[in-house]
A and B are shown apart, each in its own frame.
Chain A
Amino acid sequence: QKEVEQDPGPLSVPEGAIVSLNCTYSNSAFQYFMWYRQYSRKGPELLMYTYSSGNKEDGRFTAQVDKSSKYISLFIRDSQPSDSATYLCAMSLGGGSEKLVFGKGTKLTVNP
Chain B
Amino acid sequence: EAGVTQSPTHLIKTRGQQATLRCSPISGHTSVYWYQQALGLGLQFLLWYDEGEERNRGNFPPRFSGRQFPNYSSELNVNALELEDSALYLCASSLGIGTVNEKLFFGSGTQLSVL
A interface residues (Cβ-Cβ under 8 A, vs B): 32, 34, 36, 41-46, 49, 88, 90, 92, 94, 96-98, 100, 102-105
Contact between chains at A96 and B106 (CB < 8 Å): no
Chain B's closest residue to A102 (CB) is: B43
Contact between chains at A45 and B106 (CB < 8 Å): yes
Q: Is the interface of B mostly helix, strand, loop or mixed?
A: strand
Assuming the A-B contacts A96-B97, A98-B56, are A44 and B90 also in contact, with contact meaning beta carbons closer than 8 angstroms in the complex?
yes
Question: Distance (Å) between the CB of B55 and the closest chain A CB?
Answer: 6
Assuming the A-B contacts A42-B108, A43-B108, are A94 and B43 also in contact, with contact meaning beta carbons closer than 8 angstroms in the complex?
no
Chain B's closest residue to A104 (CB) is: B42
Partner of B42, one of A34, A41, A42, A105: A105
Asked if B33 CB lies within 8 Å of chain A CBs, one says yes
Asked if B11 CB lies within 8 Å of chain A CBs, one says no
Partner of A103, one of B42, B56, B94, B108: B42
Q: Looking at B4, B48, B94, B104, which has the most chain A CB atoms within 10 Å of its CB?
A: B104
Instruction: Give A105 to B35 CA distance when docked, in angstroms.
Output: 15
Contact between chains at B106 and A97 (CB < 8 Å): no
Instruction: Give A105 to B37 CA distance when docked, in angstroms.
Output: 11
Instruction: Give A100 to B56 CA distance when docked, in angstroms.
Output: 12
Instruction: Give A32 to B104 CA distance when docked, in angstroms.
Output: 12
Contact between chains at B101 and A97 (CB < 8 Å): yes
Chain B's closest residue to A49 (CB) is: B103
Contact between chains at A34 and B90 (CB < 8 Å): no
Contact between chains at A97 and B33 (CB < 8 Å): yes
In addition to A41-B111, A46-B103, A97-B92, 18 A-B residue pairs with Cβ atoms within 8 Å of each other are A36-B106, A43-B90, A43-B106, A43-B109, A44-B106, A49-B102, A96-B48, A96-B97, A96-B102, A97-B48, A97-B94, A98-B48, A100-B45, A102-B43, A103-B42, A104-B41, A104-B42, A105-B42
